[in-house]
Amino acid sequence: MKNDIQATAADVELTDGFHLLMDALEMNGIKNIYGLLGIPVTEVGRMWQARGNNFYSFRNEQNAGYAASVAGYLTKKPGICVTVSAPGFLNGLTALANATTNCFPMILISGSSEREIVDLQQGDYEEMDQLNIARPHCKASFRINRVEDIGVAVVRAIRTALSGRPGGVYLDIPARLFSTTMPAEEGKNSLWVPVDPAPAQIPGPDAVKRAVDLIKGAKKPLILLGKGAAYAQCDDDIKALVEETGIPFTPMSMAKGLISDTHPQCGAAARSMVLQESDVVVLIGARLNWLLSHGKGKTWGNPKKFIQIDIQANEIDSNVQIHAPLVGDVQSCVNALRAGLKGMAKPTEWMNAVAEKASGTRAKLASKLSTATPVMNYHNSLGAIRDVLKNYPDSILVNEGANALDNARMVIDQYQPRKRVDTGTWGVMGVGMGSAVAAAVESGKPVVAVCGDSAFGFSGMEYETLTRYNLPVTVVIMNNGGIYRGDEASPNHQFSCMLFNPNTRYDLFSKSLGGEGVRVTTPEELAKALEDSIKSGKTTIIDAIIDPAAGVESGRIGNLNIVSTIGKK
Ligand code: OXT
Ligand code: ADP
Ligand code: MG
């Protein structure tokens, strides 16, 4: 005969850590997980798929992490990446740090070794103090020690990733917890969905008035859009602010298309002029970091006053004085400005001067784009891509490299918000294939990845991930045979440290992995191959042969390249 306790244990329906984690993620609207499986998380992937969800399985965790972070950026929900312990975790950590740096919401979930062995450093399988190693690289690092805490941990991770300035969160799950059981009913009751995880943050009326007065008093105002503005997903409000005030705008790279690059108020093609001549600059979701020369120096010319819209209060005054901080979410701040600026006199003369400069620059560039050269250069090859992509305004452009990045940013127009994903705040190579996977999965639209040949190499094996999931991604590899250039002399009978094997056939690489592959040597061939590939929806590599002498050292940021002046002949 059973006693009471035995009867309860035998009759009560149980759940375990695996099931509770899946339940919590599903309840919170997660459908896609990006990751790489093995001990102790293999069952996570199997069970997730068995329940009708998607597990995108990568060849290296770093790329899975980049995919999760881009999913977070595109959807405004945390992207989820799952990895194994120590080495898998560390691979994923690079992407988590990059997500945090870029303000993309992401949750890295890693299995880990048992605490009692890790803490005494007794040499467990893949032993590492992951919780503490992750901590400086993300917004928060949490460990789940009790199976009944899975629900609260997932909610806390989601709220932390999304609220205020978005970013990365690490969730550490010691292996044994996955199979630890508890009564199913209690488990169910331990889960919930956070209410309003990214609450509106309304700027104070004094702060709004200060900004409104500055804008009204400006002769040459400028609106500078960053990827925080694109992330905020209040595209119509931002466009209305621009159109109602008649102020020229210029986008940072991932904000291109938030308002079409072809909009008459777009000052991107007059970038130097607007940065130098403006007197009041309204930063919307853009930091005054290295990409904006820290708000000082010759890039900025005339002294000016800054208005900065940012959700992170201590971003204000990070580099130079901000005369009118607007701390709050982009949508609330933009609409508060609109209300205060209603009926303001438009700076027509200034806008006309900017438009004239921009149209002159565009015309000059247009002639370069259509000039034929014996071997393709960055201008005519990217010009061909631009012309094709005009017909696919909802496709997503992924872009990495140096010359391949900087020229594409200049040449290829974007027409819709969040259609450009690139190397971001760190200028990091290797984001290409992970970003392409997420962009295709999350948007359901065609994706075109324009990658330098060096950049592609960082995540090239994920091309197999793209073909395996049959994703409609065209990878154009700007093959100039090297980092920046492909014509560097090779010293002392050794290949130059900046060069790659000139016989590399990326088109054949694609075919060997089940994709389509085309090698092109002219802009016409490139345009046709791209059009065919987008229309077919098949995963394709276009191996675009670029003049090895066409690139410049470090692309547009050669000024940051340090060289030795000692001992050079
Ligand atoms: O107004 P002006 O006259 O100034 O002109 C501007 C605009 O007005 C004009 N413009 C236009 N004209 C006409 N029409 C239109 N539509 C138009 N739009 C604009 O164009 C100019 C330029 O405008 P832009 O681009 O807006 O302005 P500018 O001045 O360039 O802006 C400044 C910046 C800083 C905002 C901008 O340059 C920028 O965003 N830069 C980002 C740069 C970046 O992040 N680079 C990547 C890192 S480089 C290096 O570190 C590399 N590595 C090392 C490495 C890295 N990064 N990561 C890891 C993990 N390991 C190692 C490596 C290995 S690059 C690299 C590989 C490189 O080799 P690849 O083979 O991959 O690539 P290739 O170089 O192709 O060989
Ligand atoms: P870019 O590289 O395009 O200049 P950054 O990544 O430097 O853009 O800046 C993005 C900024 O946007 C960050 O400072 C971040 O705090 C801010 N941000 C992100 N989301 C929001 C939001 N919803 N409301 C206000 N600010 C935001
Ligand atoms: Mg190259």
- Residue 231 Cα: closest atom of ligand 2: 20
Residue bearing the bigger pLDDT, 438 or 303: 438
The pLDDT tens digits for 207-242 are 999 999 999 999 999 999 999 999 999 999 999 999
State the pLDDT at residue 443: 98
Alpha helices in 342-446 (DSSP H): 348-369, 378-389, 403-411, 432-443
The pLDDT tens digits for 28-64 are 999 999 999 999 999 999 999 999 999 999 999 999 9
Q: Are 423 and 431 spatial neighbours (Cβ–Cβ below 8 Å)?
A: yes
State the pLDDT at residue 8: 55
Ligand 2: residue whose CA is nearest its atom 7:
287
State what percent of residues in the chain have pLDDT above 90. Answer: 96
Query: What gap in Å lies between CA 141 and CA 405, rounded to an integer?
Result: 33
Q: How many CB atoms lie within 10 A of CB 303?
A: 6
Ligand 1: residue whose CA is nearest its atom 15:
269
Is the C-beta atom of 454 inside 6 A of ligand 1?
yes
**Does residue 409 sit in helix, strand or coil?**
helix
Q: If you write DSSP's letter for every residue of 491-528 in order, what string do you get?
A: GGGS--TTB--TT--HHHHHHHTTSEEEEE-SHHHHHH
Q: Are 61 and 81 spatial neighbours (Cβ–Cβ below 8 Å)?
A: yes
The average confidence (pLDDT) of the chain is: 97
- Sign of the torsion formed by the C-alpha atoms of 550, 553, 554 and 560: negative
DSSP 430: T
Q: If you write DSSP's letter for every residue of 292-325 in order, what string do you get?
A: GGGG-SGGG-S--EEEEEES-GGGTTSSS--SEE
Alpha helices in 76-174 (DSSP H): 86-102, 115-119, 130-134, 150-162
- Residue 427 Cα: closest atom of ligand 1: 44
Produce one character per residue of 443-467: b if its CB has 16 or more CB atoms within 10 Å, e if not: beebbbbbbbbbbbbbbbebbbbbb
State the pLDDT at residue 2: 44
Q: What's the CA-to-centroid distance between 2 and ligand 3, angstroms?
A: 73
Q: Are 291 and 319 spatial neighbours (Cβ–Cβ below 8 Å)?
A: no
Residue bearing the bigger pLDDT, 491 or 419: 419
Query: What gap in Å lies between CA 62 and CA 82, rounded to an integer?
Result: 11
Ligand 1: residue whose CA is nearest its atom 7:
269
pLDDT for 1 beyond 50: no
The pLDDT tens digits for 332-353 are 999 999 999 999 999 999 999 9
Ligand 1: residue whose CA is nearest its atom 9:
269
Q: Which residues contact 320 (CB under 8 A, 6 or more apart)?
A: 288, 294, 295, 296, 306
Residue bearing the bigger pLDDT, 199 or 3: 199
Produce one character per residue of 490-518: b if its CB has 16 or more CB atoms within 10 Å, e if not: eeeeeeeebbbeeeeebbebbeebebbbb
pTM of the model: 0.97
State what percent of residues in the chain have pLDDT above 70. Answer: 98
What's the mean pLDDT in 351-379?
Answer: 97
Is the C-beta atom of 557 inside 6 A of ligand 1?
yes
pLDDT for 146 beyond 70: yes
The pLDDT tens digits for 518-553 are 999 999 999 999 999 999 999 999 999 999 999 999
Is the C-beta atom of 404 inside 6 A of ligand 1?
yes
Name residue 12's amino acid. Answer: V
**Does residue 416 sit in helix, strand or coil?**
coil
pLDDT for 7 beyond 70: no
Q: What's the CA-to-centroid distance between 371 and ligand 3, angstroms?
A: 21
Query: What gap in Å lies between CA 428 and CA 448, rounded to an integer?
Result: 18
Domains along the chain with CATH numbers: 14-189 (3.40.50.970), 205-356 (3.40.50.1220), 371-545 (3.40.50.970)
Residue 435 confidence class, pLDDT cut points 50, 70, 90? very high
Work out the angle between the directed axes of helices 61-75 and 86-102 (0-180°, nearest 10): 30
Q: What's the CA-to-centroid distance between 550 and ligand 3, angstroms?
A: 10
Residue 130 confidence class, pLDDT cut points 50, 70, 90? very high
Q: How many CB atoms lie within 10 A of CB 172?
A: 25
Is the C-beta atom of 28 inside 6 A of ligand 1?
no
Does a cis peptide bond (omega within 30 degrees of 0) precede residue 40?
yes
Is the C-beta atom of 226 inside 6 A of ligand 2?
yes
State the pLDDT at residue 9: 60
What the block records as the tokens of 99 is: 């997500």
Q: How many CB atoms lie within 10 A of CB 118?
A: 21
Is the C-beta atom of 232 inside 6 A of ligand 2?
yes
